[in-house]
């Protein structure tokens, strides 16, 4: 399957350091965004109970009325652009709910919700590498860790603050320089695991760095300190909460950096990449493995692989999760009766070939994926994955873990 790559929109995320006045203005904006979202959600929920529907235009009119009241007059003190954007986000959330793609929207919590505000072109000014937001007099002090595409103009700017107190700005731009990589003609099967993060059909095994385990002792100590602090809005509890958040942020940053390097390498070296369509959401319900699976970040790995493949003209094929890749002999095709998790090496009863469990699985995934790629959709029923790639559909016995 060929992938056509043209000018696409990419988000470029940078860290910035606001002044005290800028931080105060942005925090006010975050609070107003959360308040408007919750008010609109409450109004739509009440209308839903009356078997009525309220759309974006009606909530936008409500916002104008809210600003004119004495109780909510402070909403006029911040830029109206992020307030309108949060109403659009709520409209999209309801569209996903009615389309059965998501659950019913939830109210935003002051302590637990992600702090962010989105500005469209009318809410910011970008001139000569300087970004100035509405209601903010000075440009943001951004650390330009990488340049924007030449001549790129942001269409949307999203400002956010994470739980560790770090400030980020994300600029959505057209990237005309993005083009397909030269065709390689190579294909690889990828089997994910816990002992090794990835096992390739070439026999290569990529170690699992276990980022969360490396900081587990420090995290436990910080969490114990947080648990001892009196609950409430005290300064000591806020400091303890930030210490916990900084450890989590460090783990996430290291994990994401490793996945970016790994997925970029796979996309550059291979024309076709075959993976397994795992249901990670169901797998993490296993309490004994949930922590390790979450640390491996299989879902994030797949997401990165799919969008980078679409950028650079590569093909990602997801083989159905019920395909018995571990129990199937990649040499003669004989299916083993059982394959418990503790069995890492096994010998085929049909041809006598000894297999490494993970390498054999990767080889079978590659063969199944190439069958679809070469023969087309008629070789077996398929469905589309969230990334738009084909997924093989097999009627084979369920693959044992």
Active-site residue 358, yes or no? yes
Chain mean position to CA 385: 15
Measuring CA to CA, which residue among 366, 360, 341, 271 is closest to residue 313?
271
Q: 396 with 323: CB under 8 angstroms?
A: yes
Measuring CA to CA, which residue among 8, 5, 309 is closest to residue 179?
5
CB neighbourhood size of 316 (10 A): 27
User: Of 118, 212, 306, 358, which residue is the catalytic one?
Assistant: 358
Active-site residue 276, yes or no? yes
Q: 305 with 266: CB under 8 angstroms?
A: yes
Active-site residue 277, yes or no? no
Burial label, 96 (beta-carbon count in 10 A; 0-12, 13-18, 19+): middle
Query: What are the backbone dihedrals phi and psi of residue 2, each rounded to the nearest 5 degrees, phi first?
Result: -85, 150
C-alpha 339/C-alpha 262 separation (Å) is 29
3-state secondary structure of 197: strand
Burial label, 81 (beta-carbon count in 10 A; 0-12, 13-18, 19+): buried
CB neighbourhood size of 315 (10 A): 20
Measuring CA to CA, which residue among 265, 119, 121 is closest to residue 200?
265
DSSP state of 335: B
Query: What are the backbone dihedrals phi and psi of residue 62, each rounded to the nearest 5 degrees, phi first?
Result: -65, -40
User: Of 118, 191, 212, 295, which residue is the catalytic one?
Assistant: 191
Q: 392 with 320: CB under 8 angstroms?
A: yes
Relative to beta strand 8-16, strand 142-143 is antiparallel
User: Of 118, 212, 276, 295, which residue is the catalytic one?
Assistant: 276
**Which of 100-134 are b and which e, b meaning 16 or more Cβ less than 10 Å from the residue's Cβ?**
eeeeebeebeeeeeebbbbbbeebbebeeeebebb
Q: CA–CA distance from 234 to each of 237, 238, 239, 241 (Å)? A: 5, 6, 9, 11
Q: Which residues are catalytic?
A: 191, 276, 358
């Amino acid at each position: 399957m060929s992938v056509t790559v043209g000018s696409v929109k990419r988000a470029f995320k940078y860290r910035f350091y606001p002044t005290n006045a800028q931080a105060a203005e942005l925090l006010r904006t975050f609070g107003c965004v959360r308040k408007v979202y919750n008010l609109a959600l409450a109004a739509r929920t009440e209308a839903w109970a009356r078997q009525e529907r309220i759309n974006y235009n009606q909530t936008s009119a409500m916002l104008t009325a809210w600003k004119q009241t004495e109780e909510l007059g402070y909403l006029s003190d911040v830029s109206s652009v992020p307030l309108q954007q949060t109403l659009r986000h709520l409209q999209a959330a309801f569209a996903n709910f009615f389309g059965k793609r998501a659950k019913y929207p939830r109210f935003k919590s002051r302590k637990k919700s992600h702090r962010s505000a989105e500005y469209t072109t009318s809410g910011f000014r970008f001139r000569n590498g300087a970004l100035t937001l509405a209601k903010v007099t000075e440009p943001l002090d951004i650390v330009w860790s990488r340049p924007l595409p030449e001549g790129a103009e942001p269409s949307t700017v999203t400002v956010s603050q994470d739980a560790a107190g770090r400030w980020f700005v994300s600029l959505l731009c057209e990237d005309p320089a993005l083009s397909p990589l030269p065709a390689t003609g190579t294909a690889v099967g990828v089997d994910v695991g816990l002992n090794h993060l990835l096992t390739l059909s070439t026999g290569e095994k990529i170690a699992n760095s276990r980022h969360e385990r490396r900081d587990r002792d420090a995290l436990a100590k910080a969490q114990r300190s947080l648990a001892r602090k009196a609950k409430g809005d005290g300064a000591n509890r806020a400091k303890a909460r930030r210490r916990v958040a900084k450890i989590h942020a460090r783990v996430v940053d290291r994990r994401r950096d490793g996945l970016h390097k790994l997925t970029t390498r796979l996309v550059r070296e291979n024309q076709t990449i075959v993976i397994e369509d795992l249901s990670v959401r169901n797998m993490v319900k296993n309490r004994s493995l949930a922590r390790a699976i979450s640390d491996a970040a299989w879902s994030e790995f797949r997401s990165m692989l799919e969008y980078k493949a679409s950028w650079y003209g590569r093909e990602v094929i997801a083989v159905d999760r019920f395909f018995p890749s571990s129990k199937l002999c990649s040499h003669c095709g004989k299916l083993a009766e059982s394959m418990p998790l503790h069995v890492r090496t096994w010998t085929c009863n049909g041809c006598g070939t000894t297999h490494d469990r993970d390498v054999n699985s990767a080889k079978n995934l590659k063969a199944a994926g190439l069958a679809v790629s070469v023969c087309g959709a008629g070789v077996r029923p398929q469905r589309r994955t969230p990334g738009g790639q084909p997924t093989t559909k097999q009627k084979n016995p369920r693959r044992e873990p």
